[in-house]
Chain A
Amino acid sequence: MRPHRIAMVLATAVVLAACGGGGKSSSGTGPSTGPVTLHVAYWSGFNPPGVNIMPSWINAAADELKQKHPNVKVSLDEITTNSESEYYAKLDLAERAKSTAPDVAFEDSFLIGSDASAGYLRPLPELTTWSGWPDYYPAMQQIVTYNGQVYGAMNSTDVQLVFYDKALFQKAGLTVPWQPHSWNDVVSAADAIKRADSSVVPLWVYAGQENGEAASFRGFQVFLNGTNDRLYDAKTQKWEVSGPGFDATWKFLESIRPYIEPESQWSSPMSDATVALNLIPAQKVGIVFDGSWVATAYVPGSLKPWPGFFTSYGWASLPTQSGQGAGYTNLSGGWSLSVPQLAKHPDLSTELIELASSPQNLAPFDAKTGNLPPRRAVLTEPAWIENTKINPVVGFGTKQIPYTTFRPLDPAYVQVSNEIAKLTGDIASGSKNAADAAREYESVVTGIVGAPNVERMSS
């Protein structure tokens, strides 16, 4: 008899040990009574190198929240990963379960559609009646809207720009200041630089899976957007999988191959740091397609202070394929603060988001991270005005926001984008030509979203 009992006790103990752990922290009480802790999850990598602005931004909002609700504490749950895609995966997995779901999540806007459709995020209709809401740029309101519901408030955005090295341009006999009006202008400038100085990288365009979203967004979509085709037709809610604009974009990427070498540099997972911290400061790269935040790396107090950047380099708007439309195009990303579906105190979470999104709190945050403000009132904040004096690139960037667009919010975007990143790498390395890439894109994307959800554009 005794062995039986021992076995029972042992088995119970083991099972208890195995099943214990997490899931005990929720107090389950209402917002205004006992002590409440709000967990804010954010990505370690969002801070520019050498700057740790995240905690002070959230803490400022937390202090304001504490004045209204003395029982509420805010805990900063930094998620440390090297790559953005790992952060998204960790955040999404945390949002799956009640015991791990944060109360406020720092979400990349392009995942809002996907995460909302997964049921991870909570619709926040109260944000649209909040006094700050009308101040957001229309694109910044739409970027967080999925299926007619708002899923967060943007805290930062960006535009894409063409940076160019004035000294190399002059050496190549090109005129400065420069504003390309077509893709041809870009290619011919790159060619002139290559002929003038063989020791530099004439053109920097992100490519390949290692660069993930950067390759898809800044290495393909900013160009496709300059044609008459789009990735996703918002009207018919179908994915465009082929068309003259797609063909032209793949061809263009094929044509710049000789100018973006060496492959060992662009294909490295650290390539964004390579270009920003090595190539640009050494003036070893002619033309760079990158985000508006890049210039933050050179302001005083950053990792690589180099005030000379603002006189040595110029910046221009992205041209369309052959000057069609308004002549320029742009695409924006940016991050929002959202509330997970399984958050325990959604009202307090929303309140914290509104406080963190005030012009006073956003101004230093956007300035320090090198981002652009998603709402107009930030532009007149002293901290922001100060920033535009140190970093004139952001001043130029904010002028582009009213005309910018953003990525499709359809949940299939993540997978489609990954395929694009892969194909940009295949073209850049020469393992596929433009026609192969166009064919693979059509078949893979049709496979991802299903044949009824695609359309083919004709000329």
Chain B
Amino acid sequence: MRARHLTMKGRRRLTAFIMALPMVVVVLVFLGWPTIWTFVLSFTNMTVTGPAARHYHFIGLDNYRRLFSSGSGLTDSIRRSLYYLVVSAYIGQAAFGFLLAMLMQRCARGLRAAVGAIIVVAWLIPEIVIAWMWFVLLSDGGTAQQAASAAGLHYTSWLFTHPMLSVSLANSWRGVAFSYLLFTAALNDVPNDLIEAAKIDGAGASRRLFRIILPLVSTTILVDLVLITLGTLNDFSLIYAMTGGGPGNASSVLSVFMYRQAFVTYQLAFGTAIAVVMLALGALFAVVYIRILRRQGALNLAR
């Protein structure tokens, strides 16, 4: 009966709790449970086929011991994932996207709309189609080779000679639209009179960029970095469709490494241990970004 005498505040809290409940349940069922189960499996010897497929048992830290021993391929995979992150996300998407957004600010409106539309088209094409387009462009006997031979140049498939650069280019091409759109919106919010005032005060272009524009859009930059970092670290299909992780292991980033162990050599539990490492790496990046965002006061939703 006491419930009837809930205070106003208590009642509002209860409502909030109830409103949030469906979301909490969905997150727990579809995100929490698989994550926990992955974590649990990483301490077992489960395989896709063979005696341990259904009758698996706990083997303690064996998977992790194997993973962190030399020659397991983990360090190389992490190195490739970081290369992919820096080259395709930071440089190809964020930096290039920002440059594009800046340049487009100065374009005539018609041209801006046209170029913007073209960039956004890349964002609309399904990932697997993009992978195929780039495969056709770069592979043996592909467009690049034909263009090169028409120009009298020698071309050996980049998918073979520069596999990481090839997939990074494809990912930059695909993802640059997202950063571009985000930055365009942020730059449009930079008050024009502020820039004009700085100009009158004698601030040069680089000074205006670093002292006025960048501080004003820094939150957007950080949010962009959070999103593309996590998307890029977890990316699998683009690379797998373009190179299969090869040649050899040359483009086997963490996600491809995990897939190969789990579903090509059928060591499911070992694959889940790699998944846990991926999760930890992603979480590390997320925590760092969130810290920076907090310091900037950008995450004031919670308050």
Residues of B within 8 A of A210 (CB): 244, 246-247
Query: Are B51 and A117 in contact (CB-based, < 8 A)?
Result: yes
Tell me, yes or no, whether A34 is within 8 Å of chain B by CB. Answer: no
Complex CA distance for A429 and B266, rounded to whole angstroms: 25
Residues of B within 8 A of A212 (CB): 264
| A263/B247 contact (C-beta < 8 A), A3-B15, A119-B53, A414-B50 known | yes
Residues of A within 8 A of B52 (CB): 118
Query: Are A89 and B266 in contact (CB-based, < 8 A)?
Result: yes
Tell me, yes or no, whether B14 is within 8 Å of chain A by CB. Answer: yes
Residues of B within 8 A of A88 (CB): 48-49, 266
Q: Which of B22-30, B35-43, B213-221, B273-281 lines the interface with chain A?
A: B22-30
Q: Which of B3, B22, B248, B263 contacts A425 (CB 8 A)?
A: B248
Q: Which of B3, B21, B50 contacts A411 (CB 8 A)?
A: B50
Contact flags A200-229 to B (C-beta < 8 A → 1, else 0): 000000001110100000000000000000
Q: Which of B18, B25, B160, B265 contacts A267 (CB 8 A)?
A: B160
Tell me, yes or no, whether A303 is within 8 Å of chain B by CB. Answer: no
Complex CA distance for A3 and B3, rounded to whole angstroms: 12
| A117/B247 contact (C-beta < 8 A), A7-B21, A85-B263, A415-B266 known | no
Tell me, yes or no, whether A326 is within 8 Å of chain B by CB. Answer: no
Complex CA distance for A209 and B30, rounded to whole angstroms: 34
Tell me, yes or no, whether B235 is within 8 Å of chain A by CB. Answer: no
Query: Are B156 and A89 in contact (CB-based, < 8 A)?
Result: no
Tell me, yes or no, whether A114 is within 8 Å of chain B by CB. Answer: yes
Tell me, yes or no, whether B140 is within 8 Å of chain A by CB. Answer: yes
Query: Are A115 and B160 in contact (CB-based, < 8 A)?
Result: no
Residues of B within 8 A of A411 (CB): 49-51
Query: Are A209 and B140 in contact (CB-based, < 8 A)?
Result: no
Contact flags A258-285 to B (C-beta < 8 A → 1, else 0): 0000111101110000100000000000
Residues of A within 8 A of B146 (CB): none
Query: Are A415 and B267 in contact (CB-based, < 8 A)?
Result: yes
Q: Which of B3, B53, B244, B263 contacts A269 (CB 8 A)?
A: B244
Q: Using CB atoms, name the residue of chain B closest to A414.
A: B266
Tell me, yes or no, whether A67 is within 8 Å of chain B by CB. Answer: no
Q: Using CB atoms, name the residue of chain B closest to A444.
A: B71
Query: Are A89 and B246 in contact (CB-based, < 8 A)?
Result: no
Q: Using CB atoms, name the residue of chain B closest to A267.
A: B247
Q: Using CB atoms, name the residue of chain B closest to A93.
A: B48
Query: Are B22 and A10 in contact (CB-based, < 8 A)?
Result: yes
Q: Which of B18, B50, B54, B140 contacts A6 (CB 8 A)?
A: B18
Query: Are A119 and B18 in contact (CB-based, < 8 A)?
Result: no
| A15/B157 contact (C-beta < 8 A), A89-B266, A209-B248, A210-B246 known | no
Query: Are A89 and B48 in contact (CB-based, < 8 A)?
Result: yes
Query: Are A267 and B248 in contact (CB-based, < 8 A)?
Result: yes
Contacting residues of chain B (221-244) with chain A, CB-CB under 8 angstroms: 244
Query: Are B29 and A209 in contact (CB-based, < 8 A)?
Result: no
Contacting residues of chain A (144-192) with chain B, CB-CB under 8 angstroms: none
Contacting residues of chain A (76-123) with chain B, CB-CB under 8 angstroms: 85-86, 88-89, 92-93, 96, 111, 114-115, 117-120
Tell me, yes or no, whether A14 is within 8 Å of chain B by CB. Answer: yes
Contact flags B246-262 to A (C-beta < 8 A → 1, else 0): 11110000000000100
Complex CA distance for A125 and B26, rounded to whole angstroms: 47
Q: How many residues of B contact A (CB 8 A)?
A: 35
Query: Are A18 and B26 in contact (CB-based, < 8 A)?
Result: yes
Complex CA distance for A147 and B48, rounded to whole angstroms: 20
Complex CA distance for A262 and B154, rounded to whole angstroms: 14
Size range of the chain A interface in the assembly: 35 or more
Contact flags A113-142 to B (C-beta < 8 A → 1, else 0): 011011110000000000000000000000
Q: Using CB atoms, name the residue of chain A closest to B135.
A: A270
| A10/B51 contact (C-beta < 8 A), A3-B14, A208-B247 known | no
Query: Are A120 and B140 in contact (CB-based, < 8 A)?
Result: no
Q: How far is the CB of B159 from chain A (nearest CB, A)?
A: 8
Tell me, yes or no, whether A459 is within 8 Å of chain B by CB. Answer: no
Q: How far is the CB of B87 from chain A (nearest CB, A)?
A: 22
Complex CA distance for A431 and B247, rounded to whole angstroms: 12
Q: How far is the CB of A68 from chain B (nearest CB, A)?
A: 33
| A96/B14 contact (C-beta < 8 A), A208-B247, A267-B160 known | no
Contact flags A227-265 to B (C-beta < 8 A → 1, else 0): 000000000000000000000000000000000001111
Residues of B within 8 A of A115 (CB): 49
Query: Are B265 and A414 in contact (CB-based, < 8 A)?
Result: yes
Q: How far is the CB of A418 from chain B (nearest CB, A)?
A: 5
Residues of A within 8 A of B156 (CB): 262, 264
Residues of A within 8 A of B18 (CB): 3, 6-7, 10
Complex CA distance for A96 and B52, rounded to whole angstroms: 12
Tell me, yes or no, whether B9 is within 8 Å of chain A by CB. Answer: no
Residues of A within 8 A of B30 (CB): 18
Residues of A within 8 A of B267 (CB): 415
Residues of A within 8 A of B29 (CB): 14-15, 18
Query: Are B3 and A1 in contact (CB-based, < 8 A)?
Result: yes
Residues of B within 8 A of A10 (CB): 18, 21-22
Q: Which of B48, B246, B264 contacts A92 (CB 8 A)?
A: B48
Q: Using CB atoms, name the residue of chain A closest to B50.
A: A411
Q: How far is the CB of A285 from chain B (nearest CB, A)?
A: 15
Q: How far is the CB of B47 from chain A (nearest CB, A)?
A: 8
Complex CA distance for A145 and B52, rounded to whole angstroms: 20
| A96/B246 contact (C-beta < 8 A), A7-B18, A268-B140, A415-B265 known | no
Residues of B within 8 A of A412 (CB): 50
Binding site for B on A (CB under 8 A): 1, 3, 6-7, 10-11, 14-15, 18, 85-86, 88-89, 92-93, 96, 111, 114-115, 117-120, 208-210, 212, 262-265, 267-269, 274, 411-412, 414-415, 418, 425-426, 429, 431
Q: Could you give 16 example pairs across A and B, Cβ below 8 Å? A: A6-B18, A85-B264, A86-B263, A88-B49, A92-B49, A92-B53, A114-B50, A118-B51, A120-B49, A120-B53, A209-B246, A264-B140, A411-B51, A414-B50, A414-B266, A425-B248
Known: A18-B25, A89-B264, A209-B248. 8 other contacts (CB 8 A): A1-B3, A3-B15, A11-B21, A15-B29, A114-B49, A264-B157, A267-B247, A418-B265
Q: Pick the 9 closest A-B CB pairs, nearest first.
A: A118-B53, A411-B50, A264-B160, A267-B247, A114-B49, A89-B263, A117-B51, A18-B29, A418-B265
Binding site for A on B (CB under 8 A): 3, 14-15, 18, 21-22, 25-26, 29-30, 47-55, 140, 156-157, 160-161, 244, 246-249, 260, 263-267
